[in-house]
Structure 1
Amino acid sequence: MSEEPNRTRRRVLQSICGVGIAGLAGCNSTGALHIPPTKNGAAEAPESVKFVENPEAVHPTLVEETTVASDEVLIGFRLEDSSLPFTTEVYRAPDDAEVQATKTYETQDLSNVDLVPETPEALDTVETDREDIHYATTTVGEPLPVTLVARHDSEPLDWSAWSRTGYPYDGHNEDNPAVKVDCYCGGMTYTAPRGGTWARVIQVTPTERVDPGTTIVLNWTSSRF
């Protein structure tokens, strides 16, 4: 396995973690650089990038195209990343993966990426007019860990996730959130290596505020700087 964490950022990050920008909690200190706040104390995407951020609009499509058992909760992961030169993939995370772990690898062979299982299992998807929705099910109170993967061919690329929205819940700025999200953090810098793979483990947990049988869409926006 060939693995190369973002060592150049590590010293900067020793003092960063715990709370993400714009209310996104739980930022990992490996491979992510803090972006200073801008307007209203939150990091912002470049004005040239336009996001639709429409989880409420695509929610009916996810409901129509999927089935959720009466004792489960279906979670949809939608990554608005069309301005990036790769499409973010979503896999089930290994049982022993540390939530918020972030690594880069010199290979695009997922058998050498230890943040996905030995036999990588991509989440099923539902198509929308924009990016697909990746989805899986869990139960109330049971975490659903997944690994975000970017396989990149060109020069090393720095980008950020800027915001998270959701429907009927987004888990933002709530003392008692319906969904707990750890965390593709807003206002952090991530780096995709040339010809390699970037991976980050995130986790969504529906709380007791969510009724079994519910379908939820979570929508992240991301772009280069």
Structure 2
Amino acid sequence: MGKEPTHTRRRTLQSICGVAVAGLAGLAGCSSSGDSDPTTQTTDAQTQTANETQTTTTANETTTDETTEQAEETTESGLEAADFVENPEEIHPTLVEATSVPSDEVLLGFRLEDSSLPFTTEVYRAPDDAEVQATKTYDTQDLSQVDLLPESPQALDTVGTDREDIHYGTTTVGEPLKVTLVARHDGETIDWSAWSRTGYPYDGHDEEDPALEVDCYCGGMNYTAPSGGTWARVIQVTPTERVDTGTTVALNWTSSRL
């Protein structure tokens, strides 16, 4: 939008260079003519030199602009190229194979698909008294200073995949598994949102009587990761009586910067 295509800039540069070459040929012809006025030759040569300098400057500016724009296009395409798979059904067998769930509990896997973000979301058990959906930012990455975590933060166990890890824990039917999502970020402050949630064999999304009650890493909300600091949000997932005990559930949240 408003950017000149690369091939157009290149034709412009070729045309500018062509003018410069033609000017040089004309200057050589004037120098070889015995009838030319020396004063005129000197003036023409000075004018030509100035034109060549301007042409070189213009060409350099064009090259610089092209390089900058190519770098911007590479950055933009890198974001657009983030390959969101949103595949809880595909990762479910991996989670089942790598874990075990007691016959009277439900295992919940959290996969935070944040390929386009400059940090990897961490998942910790939340304090018992933490308010669900509480969200805070901190100017430190020292987790002992994050009051949405327990005094001794305990990360959920993980199962590796060829994408983001799956964080998992167990709970009983009717009891929430409450966790704190954490983003520790070293770059410039960024804003992002979680815009999709899927799950297998349940996702609890847009259902009148959901098998899972999810509160809530919510789509449509804006989150901010401060430069050199920490972002934290408390969420919970509660399996209802529609979920059989001994079941393993894979949940996937997809997020990207705004």
Name 2:199's counterpart in structure 1: 166
Name 1:120's counterpart in structure 2: 153
Name 2:173's counterpart in structure 1: 140
Structure 1 residue 82, shift from structure 2 partner: 1.5
- Hey, what's the Cα distance between the residues in 1 that align with 2:82 and 2:118? 14
Which structure 2 residues correspond to residues 47-58 of structure 1 after superposition, within 5 A?
48-58=81-91
Greater fraction strand = 1
- Hey, what's the Cα distance between the residues in 2 that align with 1:47 and 1:111? 36
How many residue pairs align between the two structures?
Answer: 180
Return the match for 2:101 from 64, 68, 74.
68
- Hey, what's the Cα distance between the residues in 1 that align with 2:81 and 2:102? 41
Name 1:183's counterpart in structure 2: 216
Structure 1 residue 49, shift from structure 2 partner: 4.0
Return the match for 1:99 from 107, 123, 132.
132
Q: Deviations over 1:9-59 (max 9, x none)?
A: xxxxxxxxxxxxxxxxxxxxxxxxxxxxxxxxxxxxx86543100000000
- The answer on 1:86 being equivalent to 2:112 is no
- Contact kept? 2:190, 2:257, Cα under 8 Å: yes
- The answer on 1:151 being equivalent to 2:190 is no
- Hey, what's the Cα distance between the residues in 1 that align with 2:80 and 2:228? 29
Q: Which runs of 5+ in 1 are unaligned?
A: 1-45
Greater fraction helix = 2
DSSP 3-state at the match of 1:145: strand
- Contact kept? 2:83, 2:115, Cα under 8 Å: no
Q: Deviations over 1:179-225 (max 9, x none)?
A: 00000000211000010000000000000000000000110001112
Runs of 4+ off more than 2 Å: 46-50
Name 1:196's counterpart in structure 2: 229
- Hey, what's the Cα distance between the residues in 1 that align with 2:107 and 2:188? 36
- Contact kept? 1:68, 1:214, Cα under 8 Å: yes
DSSP 3-state at the match of 1:222: strand
Higher relative contact order (CA 8 A, sep 6+): 1
DSSP 3-state at the match of 2:96: helix
Identical-pair percentage? 82
- Contact kept? 1:125, 1:135, Cα under 8 Å: yes
AA partner of residue 93 (structure 1): A
- Contact kept? 1:49, 1:223, Cα under 8 Å: no
- Contact kept? 2:106, 2:173, Cα under 8 Å: yes
Q: Deviations over 1:148-168 (max 9, x none)?
A: 000001111101101000000
What root-mean-square deviation, in Å, do the aligned CA atoms of Structure 1 and Structure 2 show?
1.0
- Hey, what's the Cα distance between the residues in 2 that align with 1:93 and 1:172? 23
TM superposition score normalised by structure 2: 0.69
Q: Which runs of 5+ in 2 are unaligned?
A: 1-78
- Hey, what's the Cα distance between the residues in 2 that align with 1:49 and 1:57? 18
- Hey, what's the Cα distance between the residues in 1 that align with 2:238 and 2:161? 24
Name 2:252's counterpart in structure 1: 219
TM superposition score normalised by structure 1: 0.79
- Hey, what's the Cα distance between the residues in 2 that align with 1:49 and 1:134? 21
- Hey, what's the Cα distance between the residues in 2 that align with 1:101 and 1:47? 31
Structure whose alpha-carbon radius of gyration is higher: 2
- Hey, what's the Cα distance between the residues in 2 that align with 1:141 and 1:91? 21
- Hey, what's the Cα distance between the residues in 2 that align with 1:85 and 1:60? 28
